Structure 1
Amino acid sequence: MNSRTRWIDHSVASRYHFHHDHPFHPIRLALTEQLLRASNAWDQNLVITPQWHEEARELIQEIHRPDYVSIVSALSDPNPSTLTIENAEQYGLEADGDTPYFIHLDQVSTALAAGSITAVEEVMSGRADRVLHLSGGLHHAFPNRASGFCVYNDAAAAITWIRKKYNARVMYIDTDVHHGDGVQWFFYTDPDVFTLSIHETGKFLFPGTGFHHERGDSTGYGACLNLPVEPYTEDDSWLECFNTAVHKAVQQFKPDIIISQHGCDAHAYDPLAHIECSMRIYREMPRIIHQLANQYTDGRWVALGGGGYDHWRVVPRAWSLLWLEMCDHPLLEQIDTMHCGGELPPSWIDPSTSIHRPTDISLPTTWLDHVAQWTPMVRRDEISSNNKTMLDIALQHL
């Protein structure tokens, strides 16, 4: 394992927990770590504890509106006032909404931002080449409201840290199935932050944005690229769009560092989207980003987590594949050469895990999926053709 790679401790994320039945559940992180330990791909010496908590607080107050930070803080109290609760809805934090408030919300969200700031500081200071912060990637948060399970935008805070302290050019790559809207709008007029998002088209999926005509504004025009793919897109088309676009964007922009967001909800098993990709894209996308970082940024690469709502079959494998790529683990050779990536470790789930697997979910036995057994999409050629047309239009301004 490469000693120049770091893993940000995510234990605080166990408290970023809306409620038991909420899809954004911290069990995803615990299961990923369990799979890596069982695969002999875990090295405690590479784990670092988040720092820069006071600086994270200052950055949050800078990038988010004061009244929003104030309401998040007030709702974090064990017994918020009636007026505070009544005002929660206008800030996207209503109790019965997608992003409900909970005790210590402000403190935990700030700690997650501190984790992402710690990650980019490790890389920009030269202490590490690559850092993974799986509890980061809360890309939907806006300056004035919560959205899509995201309260404070840790990615925007980390990018702002880099811009202020190092004056470096940042390439932000978002592979979540939902458009990386919050990060895009934070830097929509900044020519030194390039945002690229590949996602299911907003015609059919939250948040309803991320179309190819969104290209930045003012001096930031051209530093924004969106790839809205069709519902039921499969591996080949997804990877063609991503590979072509990200290579052209990096060649044009020439960043000093790459920050990538790795929501793993474009998988066919994910319950919140309509994409039909397999685990193959989660092997290939990190490999592509790693190669580009080595070629264009002297290896500087920070990866964040994000969405992913099939907690048992998809997220642990996808995020483990990301870590294996980042630390050049020898297990990758087996995954790349054996049928379906080879077998997963038997009984990799810790029996003491407090959340029990639903009885109707069978665990995968291999790193990659048996796609030959999947039913082919009847509109495959049409979907691929539509995605190719979209790609051609999206790349016209680069």
Structure 2
Amino acid sequence: MSGTSSQHRARLIFDPIELRYDFGAQHPFQQDNRLKALFDLLELCNIWRTVDAQMSLPLRAATMEELQLAHSPEYIAAVQRLSSPLPAEASAGEREARGQLTLRYGFGDGDTPALPGMHEIAAHAAGGTLVALSAVMGLAEGGKFASEEQRPLHVFHPGGGFHHAWEERASGFCVYNDIAVAIAHVLQSSEAKVLYLDFDAHHGDGVQRAFYDDPRVMTVSLHETGRYLFPGTGDVLEVGNGSGRGYSVNVPLEAFTEDGSYIDVMNSLLSPLVASFAPDVIISQHGCDAHAWDPLTHLSLTMRGIQAPMQAVHELAHTYCQGRWVAVGGGGYDLFRVVPRAWSMLWAEMSEQRLPEALPEAWIKRWQPAWEATQKEELAAQQVMGKSSVPSSFPTTFLDKIEDFPQQPRRWEISRTNRHTVALVRHLFMSSYMRQAFPVERRRTSPLADLFDLLHMNRETGPSRIRMLDTKKGPVFLRDFCPPSFVERLRPDSELRAFARLPEREHQLLLGIARSPDCALTLGYTPSGEIIGEVTIAPADEWWEGIENLYEVAIEVSSNWRSLGIASKMLAFALELDALEDMILFAVGLSWHWDFEGLGLSIYRYRELISRLFSSQGFKEYPTTEPNVSMEPANVFLARIGNRVDQRTANQFLNRVLSAPNLARL
């Protein structure tokens, strides 16, 4: 896909002042070394040139007003004051006041020491990400371009990514939170929705904190569990607050997670989350400290695992955001072996250029001695983190050699725990439709698949039941077991959007569900081919693992076709099969229906409506500690136990419903 035209839609933004964001030779964060090694590698690979204006974007410092979008005036004033060295002749009182200032605002713990000129340096880092995000969004702060075709779709800011800084505190090597500043500016200047994806091994706590109650920003962080690693946050149950509940997604991974498990986790979550949120732009943080050679974390990825998110985000940006994508740097403390390779891969992905298999010999000769000079300290740090088997060799290729990364002894247990974490995240953040349209690989086939095949022989061409309803708005057809070819020929009603926010995406979800061998899709549609409602029956998700013959039911009717009795008739039609008496059916109402506000009903009145709908088909409401209900008191859990379900299975289900879930297990 390489080519000049595509490269012009990608820019790299950098200013030499960013090299001064450096805490010294004894500190793990050395921006000067890693960025110089990166740019040298880019130029030697001939995929970026400093002098090529069409591949770069000018950077400026964020203004005081822009910084105040994410930081308090008092904090900014403290940063400015601490940016000037204390005069040698300073009095004892002045020294004491300076000491109190460093402690109050996070500069006194050794992680983020005050730097000379740090306000100017950090303001430029913040300004770089703000300009980058503004450019892809078409805002004035992104600069002027000769034509809209010249405006970049992708911008990479390797000197950004300071995701730990709080509104009033420096933290984790971060002074100003460039990501929060840039996102806040977009929210102030437009009606855009922003998706933030964080792949740093450390939880992106500062960005999450900045938008914890804002439904226009979804933050998704894949990171090492905080049980052992700074900042100690990022639990699955940190889901957002108030109207922002459900928009903070955290995926804490087990220490020593390897490529396979990491990529499985990412593939299970990113696409359905993006599809449900429907963002206008993606900003991703690509800290590469999840690599096995990094001295500050316990994760065990190779370059294959580091590269996978880059490729995934690129595809998601073009699928859902018209290509709008900003990427920033972040963590990465193996300065010479990991960071330059990782971020060269990121720039090659964004600019759609091909990297050579081998690293340039000139680059190796230049930077291997720099790594060797720090090797002793680096190996000691890795051994402290439990990485005593790390080989002491300098890479010669962009991708790692598999033999340099022996299998972790607890691989199966680590992968299983990560799968449980994914199960809980999917259960908490995805509607039934999303989980069905983006299924995880099942370890065993659902019995429902065999049943459907038996009933209909060939699902692509076999008979479906069809029934016609007379309504005040005209006739509506109901059809069950809809094959994909049939769904493709229909189109969604303009107000069919309860699960994916946009009708066209709702249609794509229905296609995905129709293609699933163990899901039953019933549609309501008009003679002109408009889908006005749907019912799905699908195997319960991983949260309910171990309970046989358990299926989730979900229903939707376009708001253009409500109050006509369609929902009850469609649900009854979908549940008429006698074979369903061998199954337990359940529904979680309300939590995924964000369109109820248009009905003019209170949330509790809408809950009553859902309860009455399912009760008409034999469902009973159960008190439960199921997470979607226990975390949202207005929610409702309804179930119907088939007449032929054996008592052991029924008791197992009821015990799971009525007993507190073991969240630690997940």
Provide the TM-score with structure 2 as the length reference.
Answer: 0.56
Q: 2:65 aligns with which of 55, 58, 61?
A: 58
Amino acid at match of 2:107: L
CA distance in 1, matches of 2:366, 2:306: 27
Q: CA deviation at 1:373?
A: 3.9
Report the CA distance between 1:374 and its aligned residue. Answer: 2.4
Q: Distance in 2 between matches of 1:6 and 1:230?
A: 35
Distance 1:16 1:355 in 2: 19
Separation in structure 2 between the aligned mates of residue 15 and residue 39 of structure 1, nearest angstrom: 25
The structure 2 residue matched to 1:135, chosen from 136, 144, 159, is: 159
Contact 2:126 2:179 in 1 (8 A): yes
Give matches, 1:263-342, under 5 Å: 263-331=287-355, 342=357
Q: How much has 1:394 moved relative to structure 2?
A: 1.3
Matches within 5 A, 1:18-29: 18-26=23-31, 27-29=33-35
Are 1:358 and 2:364 counterparts? no
Q: CA deviation at 1:62?
A: 3.3
C-alpha separation in 2, matches of 1:75 and 1:373: 44
State the partner residue of 1:338.
Answer: none
**Alpha-carbon distance between aligned partners in 2 of 1:124 and 1:357, rounded to the nearest angstrom:** 43
- Any residues of structure 2 matched to 1:241-260 within 5 Å, and which? 241-260=265-284
Mean Cα displacement is larger for which, 37-46 or 345-354? 345-354
- Per-residue CA distance 1:238-296 (angstroms, 9 max, x = gap): 11111221111101101000000010000000000001110002221110000000000
Partner Cα distance (2:79, 2:70) in 1 = 14
Q: Does 1:376 align with 2:407?
A: yes
CA contact (8 A) 2:336 2:371 kept: no
Which residue in the other structure is 1:85 paired with?
A: 99
Aligned to 1:47: 56
User: 1:337 — aligned with what?
Assistant: none
In the comparison of the two structures, how many residue pairs are matched? 386
Identical pairs, percent: 43
Deviations 1:151-187 (A, max 9, x none): 1100000001111112200000000000000000100
Given that residues 99 and 149 in structure 1 are in contact (C-alpha distance below 8 angstroms), is that contact kept between their aligned partners in structure 2?
A: yes
Q: How far 1:109 moved relative to its partner?
A: 0.7
Three-state SS of the structure 2 residue aligned to 1:150 is coil
Q: Which among 147, 167, 183 is matched to residue 159 of structure 1?
A: 183
> Retained in 1: the 8 A contact 2:79–2:119?
yes
Give 1:345's match in structure 2, choosing from 356, 360, 363. Answer: 360
Task: Read off the aligned partner of 1:192 and give its amino acid letter.
Answer: R
Q: Say yes or no: does 1:219 pair with 2:239.
A: no
1:30 equivalent in structure 2? 36
C-alpha distance in 2, partners of 1:199/1:311? 20
Q: In the aligned structure 1, how far is the partner of 2:423 from the partner of 2:191?
A: 32
Query: Take 1:166 and 1:280, find their aligned partners in 2: how far apart are those partners?
Result: 37
Deviation at 1:71, TM superposition (A): 1.1
Gaps of 5+ in 1: 335-341
CA distance in 2, matches of 1:295, 1:272: 35
Q: CA RMSD in A?
A: 1.8
Amino acid at match of 1:372: E
- The CA deviation at 1:87 is 2.1
Q: Distance in 1 between matches of 2:393 and 2:36?
A: 18
| Structure with higher RCO (Cα < 8 A, 6+ apart) | 1
Alpha-carbon deviation of 1:353?
11
In 2, the alpha carbon distance for the partners of 1:356 and 1:208 equals 30
SS of the residue aligned with 2:362? coil
Deviates more, 1:4-13 or 1:131-140: 4-13
1:7 pairs with 2:7: no
Residues 1:320 and 1:91: Cα distance change in structure 2 (over 3 Å): same
Tell me the residue number matched to 1:104. 117
In 1, Cα distance between the equivalents of 2:167 and 2:248? 19
2:257 — aligned with what? 233
Whether the 8 Å contact between 2:69 and 2:185 is mirrored in structure 1 is no
Q: 1 CA distance for matches of 2:360 and 2:368?
A: 17
